[in-house]
Amino acid sequence: MENIQILDLGGSIVAPDQVDTEFIKEFKTFLVNWLDEDESRKAILIIGGGGAARKYQTAYRDIDNNPTDEEQDWIGIAATRLNGQLLKGVFKDYCFDDVIINPETEGSFKGRVMVAAGWKPGFSTDYDSVVLAKRFGAKTVLSLSNIAKIYTDDPKTNPNAEPVDNMTWDEYKKLCGNEWTPGKNIPFDPVATKLAAELGLTVKAAAGKDLYNLKKIFDGKDFFGTTIS
Ligand SMILES: Nc1ncnc2c1ncn2[C@@H]1O[C@H](COP(=O)(O)OP(=O)(O)OP(=O)(O)O)[C@@H](O)[C@H]1O
Ligand SMILES: O=c1ccn([C@@H]2O[C@H](COP(=O)(O)O)[C@@H](O)[C@H]2O)c(=O)[nH]1
């Protein structure tokens, strides 16, 4: 099997409000170094919508008296595609496919990096990551966001939430529920969770900006974060 890392990159780390150019530069250096160490290595970057998705979805809800989930999702998808186009440009020497919109069919992986963005309404880019993992035979998805671990509840709203190092899919399902809501802030979305559990994938969730820790994950070492399996 090819040596492919599936990186589910939260928009919250790449473009939380403004584009985080310093982080993207550091991340590029990190990933290029890893790729250059071994010609068999490849990476798939699936990028979320970040601040733009949330802002534009909120604006739509403020303007429209009868906002639909589907329209909100399409607005979020547009933000992911803008972020995806940026990353494709950043990795242009390694990425020769267009930004992947349909994770089931698009892209022949001509280069060493593939960049994917939002596909269609009903889920987040977490789901697109799981579809790409299935398609390319990867067993693990790295879910990188603005939070270092998954907690027993949202730590931003519940001060008593406790971090968890390891959990089963059944345990995680109790946390995330079944319902999809556009723009939902959650470590891994419920639709992606269902498919990942069915496929028996492992998700390693960690802070996206901690590249020292990310290297440990790439090297299969102990890391700071949460494993769902
Ligand atoms: N049980 C939980 N454990 C950890 N974080 C949680 C939990 N429940 C909700 N959250 C929230 O999920 C957020 C991370 O998900 P979010 O969707 O914002 O990030 P992302 O995937 O990096 O970005 P984006 O969705 O913009 O691409 C955290 O900042 C936290 O507030
Ligand atoms: O395949 C997809 C991907 C995304 N969306 C919508 O976009 C936003 C932003 O994506 P994140 O992965 O959460 O950053 C998401 O909340 C959905 O509303 C989608 O509908 N389909």
Mean pLDDT calculated for residue range 99-114: 96
Q: What CATH number is associated with residue 65?
A: 3.40.1160.10
pLDDT tens digits, residue range 46-81?
A: 999 999 999 999 999 999 999 999 999 999 999 999
Q: Which domain holds residue 92?
A: 4-228
| For the CA of 53, the nearest atom of ligand 2 | 9
185 band by pLDDT with thresholds 50, 70 and 90: confident
| Secondary structure of 101-149 as H, E, C letters | CCCCCCCCCCCCEEEECCCCCCCCHHHHHHHHHHHCCCCEEEEEECCCC
**pTM for the complete prediction?**
0.97
Q: Which residue puts its alpha carbon closest to atom 14 of ligand 2?
A: 48
Average pLDDT, the chain: 96
Q: Are 158 and 116 in contact (CB under 8 A)?
A: no
Ligand located closest to 192 CA = 2
Around ligand 2, the residues with Cβ closer than 6 Å are 11, 48-49, 53, 72-73, 76-77, 80, 118-121, 123-125, 128, 182-183
Q: Residue 184: is its pLDDT beyond 90? A: no
Mean pLDDT calculated for residue range 177-203: 94
ipTM above 0.95, yes or no: yes
Q: Residue 150: is its pLDDT beyond 90? A: yes
| For the CA of 182, the nearest atom of ligand 2 | 18
| Domains in the chain, number | 1
